[in-house]
Each structure stands twice: as structure tokens, then as C-alpha cells.
Chains A and B, each alone.
Chain A
Amino acid sequence: AQSVTQLDSHVSVSEGTPVLLRCNYSSSYSPSLFWYVQHPNKGLQLLLKYTSAATLVKGINGFEAEFKKSETSFHLTKPSAHMSDAAEYFCVVSDQGGGGNKLTFGTGTQLKVEL
């Protein structure tokens, strides 16, 4: 079984300050983990993915995430927030690869970026 918990439903940061969105997962296998972003009334865009290669994963738009098996975490970070980063972020887990297999979504974290 697989599950994912996003610890914060809302995060608010000032422009130019670091972003941390937290995610913990549970998986019976070696999981694949993803972060997606969704802007209002839009589809999902993949930010980054972990699929058992390097534990520090770099994604688009300056985001990165570190897979920590001992902590069952996959937190998303960015050194400096930009106004355009304001959106909903989903942490997603798949037990087996993710391509043709079921994804389980977290409940989402709404990121607000203030001037």
C-alpha cells in the first residue's frame, strides 16, 4: 500500500525567501516520488521526480527535493521564492515506477508568495 502526507495545507513566504514544502510517504516497495504544481484552473505540471537514482533531485524553476529513506520524506525546496511560484503543490507516490501504475496524491499545499 502507498500513501503520502503533506504536512502543511498552506505555506506563506515572502518573495526572495526560501520555500519548504513538506511531504512524508509510506510505501511497501521502493517508491517513485513526484512533485507536481497546479496553477489555478490549470492541469498538472511535473516539477521533479525520484525513481531510485540520485537522492537529491533537481527539477524545473529552481526547485529540488531530497529523498530520505530513513525519514520517509521527500520535501520540496527552493532557495528563493518568486511571485510566479504561487500555486498548489502535490506530492505523489507510486509503488512501482509510476508510468503504468497507480499514483497516490497528497492533499496538496497551497503556496502563497507575498511581496
Chain B
Amino acid sequence: GAVVSQHPSRVICKSGTSVKIECRSLDFQATTMFWYRQFPKKSLMLMATSNEGSKATYEQGVEKDKFLINHASLTLSTLTVTSAHPEDSSFYICSAGGGEWTNEQFFGPGTRLTVL
């Protein structure tokens, strides 16, 4: 399988600040990356789908101005949580797929965001 990394693994920030989370596919070119949010003891909720070089497609109810997604290259997508508030605290997970991997996505290890 392929490897996807996320950075940072854990971040604590003050309310009102912005936080950037990086998702990298380390050994393949991912035409599509996905961002998920997971609340404690809950399932993964898809936030948005990101295709390289184009604007992200957001799921219903996800604020695109709050969760900025950039997919500038085939190996890197970023999620920026702008003006973070305590309710944005969550576990954010990315996945990458497409390219040579048509039947599988590979998940990053996740980023734990805590907003104070």
C-alpha cells in the first residue's frame, strides 16, 4: 500500500487563531485527497473532496470559508481552520487516492486539534 502522512499530529491553539494541517502522499501522486472530521467515539464525517489544481468540493453543512482546503500539488493538501473556536476541536483525518490507486484510499494518522 501507499503511505500518507499528516502534520502536526497534535496541535493546541487559542480561540481565534488559525491552524494549518498538512496531508502528504509520500510515495504516489494523489489526484484526489479527502478531509474527514471525527468526533469522540463517532464515525468519520467527510468534510470535503480536493482535486489537484481545482477548488475543493465541500459537503453540505461544512463552511468553506472556515475550513480552507488547498491541493496545490499531487502530493500535498492542506486544511486551514480559520478563526478556530472550541467547537472546532476534533480529530481531523485526511486520505489520498486516485492516480495509480483506483480502488483504494490511504489514510493519514490524523491530527488532534484542541482549541482553548
Give me the interface of A with B, judged by CB distance under 8 Å.
Answer: 32, 34, 36, 41-44, 46, 49, 51, 90, 97-108, 110
Closest A residue by C-beta to B106: A46
Q: Which residues of B contact A90 (CB under 8 A)?
A: 43-44
Q: A42-B110, A98-B97 are in contact. Are A108 and B105 (CB under 8 A)?
A: no
CB distance from B44 to the nearest CB of A (A): 5
* Cβ contacts A to B, 26 pairs, < 8 Å: A42-B110, A43-B108, A43-B109, A90-B43, A90-B44, A98-B97, A98-B102, A98-B103, A98-B104, A98-B105, A99-B32, A99-B98, A99-B101, A99-B102, A99-B104, A100-B32, A100-B98, A100-B102, A101-B97, A102-B34, A102-B46, A102-B49, A105-B44, A105-B46, A107-B43, A108-B43
Q: Dominant SS at the B interface?
A: strand
Closest A residue by C-beta to B107: A44
Q: Dominant SS at the A interface?
A: loop
